[in-house]
Structure formats: structure tokens, C-alpha cells
Amino acid sequence: MTNLISRREFLGSALAVAAGLAIPKKFAVPAAISPDITYESPCLHEGAVPTSNSPDIAYGSLYLHEGAIINIDVSTGGQGVYTKITGFTTGLLNDISINSDAFNVGTVGVYKVDWEVSGDSDGNNKNYEIDIFINGVRQSYGAAQREFGGIGSLGFLSSIAILDITNTDHDIDLRLKEVGSGAGTDFNISNMAFNVMRVN
């Protein structure tokens, strides 16, 4: 017979799990929650994010925190030319390595790629696009584009893609271009998150 517990009792048992305390059998963590994963929220829920190593999940993170600035040299290549985004800090990694500011995927599978970039332009009314590249090839998914109205006007771009990686040793990176065909204007990144996780 199934034991029915109140929301308060369940949340209390979840907090006990997060604290490493023993809990009564009727409050046992459901089998769907992996014991090999530490979740960022004490309330175990469907959208929780794993933060510790698990042999079943490949993931990686790169980021730039406020205080550091990455200048993307668009002026050299000009408008319409992609420039690889570099200068990240490496975050958590499991079964994924970093190769020159790109994720190197070592396991075949379907991967979720998400990214967000905050920054500003060195010019007025400049339009930028960021795309996901795999082994130097622009992907059809995961792009974002916006116009920055004035010099130093802060804004952000972000996107999510589901990509099927059919071979190992694939590099996944981000590249930025200024839309157009004239002289390019540099872009300054102040915050960034770039994450990859195998979902199947």
C-alpha cells in the first residue's frame, strides 16, 4: 500500500537528505532521484541541476564572471566575419574536456547546449549575432541576434540547442559576428555562461 505524506513532511525529508541525515523509510527518496548526484536545491524537483560527478552524465561549463572583460576583436575581420569567443574560466566538467575555449565531447549522444552573453558595443546601433559551431561548422540551432543602441549600452543574448553528436572528439564553441558587410566594431563581454550536458 502506498504511504501518503503531506507536502510539509516531504519537504522536511528532502531537507534531511540535503543535510545527510537519516530519514524514516516512508520518506525515502524516490528511485528516480539518483543517489550519485547532488542537487543545488534542497527541495528535490524535476528541474534540479546536478552539481557533482556522476558516471552516467557528461557535462561541462565555461563562464566569465563580472569584473573581467573579454574584448571580441570584430574590427580586424570586419562585419559578417565570425570571431571565436575565448577567455572563459572553466567550471564543472565530467566526461567532457576543454580544448582552446571549446568543449571537447568524448561520448556520442544527444547534448543540450545553452549559453548567455552580456556585454556592450564600441559603437552606436550595432547588430551582433552569436552562433554555436561544431568542429568549425556553424550550426542551424542555438543562434541569437540583437542590436545594441549606443556605445556602452549593456545588453545580452542567449539561446538553447539540442544537438546530436554522432562522433567523439567534437569541439563545440561560440562565435560572434557583427551583421553587415562594412567595417566591424568590437564587442565587450562582461558576463557569460556556456554549458553542455548529454541528455541521451
**pLDDT computed for residue 55 by the predictor:** 54
pLDDT tens sequence across 102-142: 999 988 999 999 999 999 999 999 999 999 999 999 999 99
| Residues 141-184: tens digit of each pLDDT | 999 999 999 898 899 999 999 999 988 889 999 999 999 888 88
Beta strands in the chain (DSSP E): 59-64, 70-72, 83-84, 89-94, 96-98, 103-105, 109-121, 126-134, 137-138, 144-148, 155-165, 170-178, 187-198
Asked whether residue 14 carries a pLDDT value surpassing 90, the answer given is no
Which tens digits make up the pLDDT trace of 31-71?
A: 443 333 333 333 333 344 444 444 578 999 999 987 688 99
Q: Which residues, in sequence order, are bridge partners of residue 91?
A: none
Q: Which long-range contacts (CB under 8 A, 24 or more apart) does 84-90 make?
A: 84/133, 84/173, 84/174, 84/175, 85/117, 85/130, 85/173, 85/174, 85/175, 85/176, 85/189, 85/192, 87/189, 88/62, 88/63, 88/64, 88/192, 88/194, 89/62, 89/63, 89/64, 89/65, 90/61, 90/62
Q: What values do phi and psi take at 15, rounded to 5? A: -65, -35
**pLDDT higher than threshold 50 for residue 15:** no
- What was the pLDDT predicted at 23? 47
Look at residues 31, 50, 67 and name the one whose alpha carbon lies nearest to residue 112. 50
More confident position, 17 or 113: 113
DSSP alpha helix (H) spans, the chain: 7-19
Question: Domains in the chain, start-ordered, CATH in brackets?
Answer: 1-55 (no CATH), 59-198 (2.60.120.40)
CA 108/CA 89 separation, integer angstroms: 25
pLDDT digits (tens, 9 = 90+) for 70-108: 999 999 999 999 999 999 999 999 999 999 999 999 889
